[in-house]
Amino acid sequence: MKRKLSAYDITLVGMFAALMAIGANITSWAPFLQIANVPLSMQPFFCILAGLLLGSRLGALSMTIYALIGIAGAPVFAQFNGGIGVIFESTGGFILSYIVTAYAVGKVVELSKAKKLPTFLTASFLGIILIYIIGTTYMWLALNVWMNVPMSYGVAWTVMAWFLLKDVVFTILGAFIAPRIYHIVTKATNNRIVA
């Protein structure tokens, strides 16, 4: 049986939902972080970090809360967008991928006996692979099926390749900093951070 959410859990979930909103709109403060007028985001970094540090349950919950806040209309998606319509745009699949990704990343850490760098690297790269597969496939479907913008699957991946380098660098960075944070916080909270 899953334990009830504590005030501490709710705080962590809210913190990562807020970090996702900040990560989505980082180019509003740093407009040079754009490629072909498409803003770079820190969302994959914060999503994977949520899974690494909060575990599958709380990590996925934080991403679900973030998505629901945006769907409800709060301007927390990229370029300060909000509303359910964003989910049906070409980048909507990335928003949905964050829930699956945080869960999967957290599960890898939970199932590993050794909470060391190799585990965090494996979980992080699984996360970035999931984000790109789900997000890019959804983008291709959205463009071709309901947005009437024909694009081959290969071209969709070529477009996303521009963002891949940034995300791989931040994935590695997150994997390197996460074990230290994980061990400090789990020690301070009597091994309760992964729920």
Q: What is the pTM of this model?
A: 0.92
Q: Within a 13 Å sphere around the CA of 68, how many CA atoms are in the beta-carbon half?
A: 9
Domain locations in the chain as residue ranges: 7-188
pLDDT at 158: 95
- Asked if residue 40 has pLDDT above 80, the reply is no
Grade residue 34 by pLDDT with cuts at 50, 70 and 90: low
Q: For domain 7-188, give the fold.
A: Arp2/3 complex 21 kDa subunit ARPC3 (1.10.1760)
Q: Is the dihedral of CA 130, 134, 135, 137 positive or negative?
A: positive
Residue range 121-157, pLDDT digits in tens: 999 999 999 999 999 999 999 999 999 999 999 999 9
SS3 state of residue 34: strand
Task: Give the integer Cα–Cα distance in Å for 62 and 48.
Answer: 11
